[in-house]
Structure 1
Amino acid sequence: MKLSTASVDQKPKTRPIDHILLRGEPTRPALDGRSGHLDFAELESTLGHLAAWLQGFGLPPGERVASWVAKGPVAALMPMAATRAGLVHVPINPLLKRAQAAHILSDSGTRLLIGTQARLDTLEEGDVPPDCQAHSESDTACAMTGGPTLPPSDAEPDTLAAILYTSGSTGKPKGVMLSHANLWLGAVAVADYLKMTPQDRTLCVLPFSFDYGQNQLFSTWYAGGCVVPLDYLTPRDVIKSIERRQVTTLAGVPPLWVQLIELDWPPEVAAQLRRLTNSGGALTPTLVARLRALFPNADLYPMYGLTEAFRSTYLPPALVDSHPDSMGRAIPFAEILVVRPDGTLTDDNEPGELVHCGPLVAQGYWNDRARTAERFRPAPEVSAYGGMAVWSGDTVRRDAEGLLYFVGRDDAMIKSAGNRISPTEVEESAMAVPGVLEAIALGVPDPRLGAAVRLLLRGKPGVDPTLLENDVRGHLKQDLPNFMQPRDIRFVDAFPANANGKIDRVAVAREHGE
């Protein structure tokens, strides 16, 4: 039997996540940006002061502390300062609005909220739980530069460290419970397969409330490198920061890459990047080709992950050109199985459900046993790890080389005249047509078929929609079977995005799915 798995270590070594700064050379840069420059020794000292300030509120161990702040030293240090103080960190995406923040505060039972004053001012009566204190981020300024300090913690690996709330595209956000081991091993794994070094500088454009965004910090610091937080207003801000801060590593999601490749990059700035990573949505072969051409010196790492297990797979750069549509293989510490409904392994190229086993699996959903039981279930019998696994709900296939390919989510598949159609397959085919920047396929009611395919396109500026539609239809007829052909094609100026920068497919379906 063939497994798609990384090397299995039943008891990998872990440390509390707040120890991660101790790995860097004390005098090497650790944090750089608009808020100033700190080396590892200075950042560790600041962390100790912030943790002592949090501990001073006298909350019992395990209570939740939320942060709702823009990127900067507080946002970067809160994940570790909270755990050093014996608390559980609940980051709130700064792009979220009052009602969404209020849900997270209530659902998590937050006892302490640190937020920028402007965000706190948006909260209304009843938004903050009665036993929760709210403090402005400015209150931390003095605490972080002097006064009491806390030494590194001695937390056990399975101790709850963070609750990360998903974007909530299908209902209200749910909180994923992550342990110290989850966070530490995620940092070790990513730093390892990205081959990061102390000379690397990572531009952090993704929200720290996003597991992919938070890992930008931890994996870079594990490698002894420097992080550069950036809340950008326009994609051109990204170019400016890469040039000004000597950035070598950039993590993004597909909508950001689409924006970046539309810009005019100074060749010397584009050549500065050594590493690009992608998650939060698949890269199309066309987008892969454009990124490779624009950033000739950068290794490209397509990745697949889900908050419930952090990260599952990555595609090594050496395979990107030959397998541009592959998800790759399991990352370190992950065992990835492709199984049938009965839990047995699929054959090569047979679609099945991706199941993630091993120490990166989260502890379930906070305060939600029902949804935890749906997603977190005992691992298939063939698992080398056993225990609880994440049954992703994503359909994938594994080829004879052990590489994985995304087919679609079961709840997103279009059922048309008895056929199951993967939106991803239709979208990738459309994206191969010159002039198409983004594509979304969805099912719409059809009295004869049950559901028909509707294809939404965003074209390059200045391209004639009528001519582009003809080109797309011609390509799809050559590339896809008849039952996958779209009933209609519509053009949009932009697709809505969720707080993590990914296309909000639920919002797209709500607007265009009737």
Structure 2
Amino acid sequence: MTKVENPPSFPIDHLALRGAADAAALLIGDRITTFADLDAAVGRLASWLLEQAGGPGERVASWSAKTRLACLMPLAAARAGLIHVPVNPLLKGQQVAHILADSGAKLLVTNHSRAEMLGDARPENCAVRDLKVAEAVIDSGGQGLPPSIAEAGDLAAILYTSGSTGRPKGVMLSHANLWLGAESVASYLGIVPGDRALGVLPLSFDYGQNQLFSSWYAGAAVAPLDYLTARDVVKAVTRHRITTIAGVPPLWVQLVEAEWPADPASLLKRLTNSGGALTPSLIDAMRRTFPKADIYPMYGLTEAFRSTFLDPALVADHPTSMGRAIPHAEILVCRPDGSLADDDEPGELVHTGPLVAQGYWRDDERTAQRFKPAPSTSRYGGIAVWSGDTVRRDAAGLLYFVGRDDAMIKTAGNRVSPTEVEDVAVASGLIYEAVAFGVPDARLGAAIILIVRGKDGAADEEGLAAYLRQNLPNFMQPHIIEWRSELPRNPNGKLDRVAISADWGREVAA
């Protein structure tokens, strides 16, 4: 079989050159950053980052809200030949310290309060610089670095994602991964220079970061927003004349329940969804609320950026479908032996092509489990991502999600490792054992249930809840914590997670 050649790509920092010089690229408050401003600012920040990090190839992390610096960091680090490690602003010191140590970051750019949150957990070889200093560099007017000449396969970023076996793992993304992902999304969404996207998702997620990249690829603008309520989103759409929103199901639930004046609601041209499936009833509510907007359900995984999207014309008749492969992706449905499943036969989703990441940072064992040779029937060949997700393909080629093989909990658009929640709970010193799992929830997608066995039969409910609030981000907080004197075990002596989850379900049903 003839293999498909990978399409050409450019260093990711060249996105700053895509739009018209005087066109808006970034909208933060009353400040408008044009593409000419963006390119100059990226160059100045790149020069400063290189000096602070000590040389090309080093990892530099950013941990902040959606500041101007946070938006420029991925391009500036790439222009300096550095590797960007964006950190979710919702994480607490314990998780951030792990990411800094695991990535070997030489530099963290953050604010004073976040730096204090790290405390003694900060790795000794990781310098911390204040956001205000970096922002001053951006506005300094000094000479910056020119556009980079990086190779397509050079490492540009490490994005940390939760794993079913515990602590987050770093997905290695090349310039080609990021550039072709931007091109792919910009093309199938039909983004044009006049468009304006509202960036409500964390920039540490590939989905949130790609809103910057795909918009800039098309010469369009992005308005980053850290929102507290749906009303904040309504105001931002009105203020910036937003045409595009990317969200997750819990956000759409909030937005369709909010009051929308006719004008801002009619501004929206496209709504994209990932991080969980849209229900038919939610799709209907989105159509009523945003009558002029096309809806794009999508499926993705950080290891391959994104895999499928459903054409808006098919949403009404196929509301539960994941759609078909996005540009630059090949999606196969495979049996355990690697052969292709028949129509409507469940199989593992396997993603091949140039969007496949380079594996997990410094983790050959887990890389070998997920990144394996593509099936012989693949057009691209090479290494594929074997997702662990079970899907089926109908006779028309549309894909449908069946189930997830691992134990990950998908809540409020976030993938949460049960093991990570359990480890933090046990670290409280108040319990001997813990089991976390997800249950369906109309607003969150899944709610986290935590079953624990207290020490000596004691149940310090307030103490454990307070410890979890201090050491876990909001999206990892258990919805319900229940205490047990004993927990069932399997024949190997390990906690029987299936039985524990089933017992809880029976108790609720009763």
> 1:9, CA displacement in angstroms?
4.5
Mapped contact 2:3–2:381 kept (Cα < 8 A): no
User: What residue identity is the alignment partner of 2:128?
Assistant: A
Q: 1:144 aligned to 2:138?
A: yes
Mapped contact 1:167–1:500 kept (Cα < 8 A): no
State how far apart, in whole Å, the 1-side matches of 2:364 and 2:280 are.
Answer: 40
> 1:457, CA displacement in angstroms?
5.0
Which ranges of structure 2 fall in alignment gaps of 5 or more residues?
411-436, 444-468, 483-499, 505-510
Give the corresponding residue for 2:129.
Answer: 135
Which of 96, 101, 108 does residue 96 from structure 2 map onto?
101
Give the corresponding residue for 1:477.
Answer: none
Moved over 3 A (4+): 167-170, 453-459, 498-501, 506-514
Q: 1:48 aligned to 2:43?
A: yes
Q: How does 1:413-428 map to 2 (within 5 A)?
A: none
Length, aligned pairs only? 435
Secondary structure of the corresponding residue to residue 386 of structure 2: strand
User: What residue identity is the alignment partner of 1:114?
Assistant: V
Mapped contact 1:167–1:499 kept (Cα < 8 A): no
Give the corresponding residue for 1:439.
Answer: none
Q: How does 1:399-414 map to 2 (within 5 A)?
A: 399-411=394-406
State how far apart, in whole Å, the 1-side matches of 2:109 and 2:30 are.
Answer: 18
Cα distance change of structure 1 residues 231 and 454 upon mapping to structure 2, 3 Å threshold? closer
User: Which deviates the most, 134-143 or 247-256?
Assistant: 134-143
Q: How does 1:390-405 map to 2 (within 5 A)?
A: 390-405=385-400
Cα distance change of structure 1 residues 360 and 455 upon mapping to structure 2, 3 Å threshold? closer
Which of 188, 211, 222 does residue 183 from structure 2 map onto?
188
Cα distance change of structure 1 residues 388 and 365 upon mapping to structure 2, 3 Å threshold? same
Q: 1:345 aligned to 2:336?
A: no
Secondary structure of the corresponding residue to residue 383 of structure 1: coil
Give the corresponding residue for 1:358.
Answer: 353
Give the corresponding residue for 2:149.
Answer: 154
Give the corresponding residue for 1:68.
Answer: 63
> 1:78, CA displacement in angstroms?
0.2
User: Which deviates the most, 264-273 or 91-100?
Assistant: 264-273
State the Cα deviation string for residues 47-100 of structure 1 (Å, max 9, x = none): 111001112225232110000111121000100101111110000011111111
Which ranges of structure 1 fall in alignment gaps of 5 or more residues?
2-6, 414-422, 425-452, 460-495
> 1:189, CA displacement in angstroms?
0.0
Give the corresponding residue for 1:215.
Answer: 210
Give the corresponding residue for 1:20.
Answer: 15
TM-score by length of structure 1 reads: 0.80
User: What residue identity is the alignment partner of 1:133?
Assistant: A
> 1:290, CA displacement in angstroms?
1.0
Mapped contact 1:30–1:38 kept (Cα < 8 A): yes
Give the corresponding residue for 2:109.
Answer: 114
TM-score by length of structure 2 reads: 0.81
Mapped contact 2:110–2:128 kept (Cα < 8 A): yes
Mapped contact 1:301–1:316 kept (Cα < 8 A): yes
Give the corresponding residue for 1:236.
Answer: 231
> 1:246, CA displacement in angstroms?
0.3
Give the corresponding residue for 2:420.
Answer: none
Secondary structure of the corresponding residue to residue 56 of structure 1: helix
State how far apart, in whole Å, the 1-side matches of 2:388 and 2:297 are.
Answer: 20
Give the corresponding residue for 1:429.
Answer: none
Mapped contact 1:91–1:208 kept (Cα < 8 A): yes
Mapped contact 1:277–1:300 kept (Cα < 8 A): yes
User: What residue identity is the alignment partner of 2:61?
Assistant: A
Give the corresponding residue for 1:472.
Answer: none
State the Cα deviation string for residues 374-432 of structure 1 (Å, max 9, x = none): 1001101101111110000000000000000000112359xxxxxxxxx99xxxxxxxx
Q: 1:252 aligned to 2:250?
A: no
State how far apart, in whole Å, the 2-side matches of 1:67 and 1:110 are.
Answer: 10
State the Cα deviation string for residues 357-384 of structure 1 (Å, max 9, x = none): 0000000001111111110011011011
Q: How does 1:206-355 map to 2 (within 5 A)?
A: 206-355=201-350
> 1:141, CA displacement in angstroms?
2.5
User: Which deviates the most, 263-272 or 209-218?
Assistant: 263-272
> 1:509, CA displacement in angstroms?
8.9
Give the corresponding residue for 1:86.
Answer: 81
Percent identity reads 61
Give the corresponding residue for 1:463.
Answer: none
Mapped contact 2:24–2:221 kept (Cα < 8 A): yes
Cα distance change of structure 1 residues 35 and 128 upon mapping to structure 2, 3 Å threshold? farther
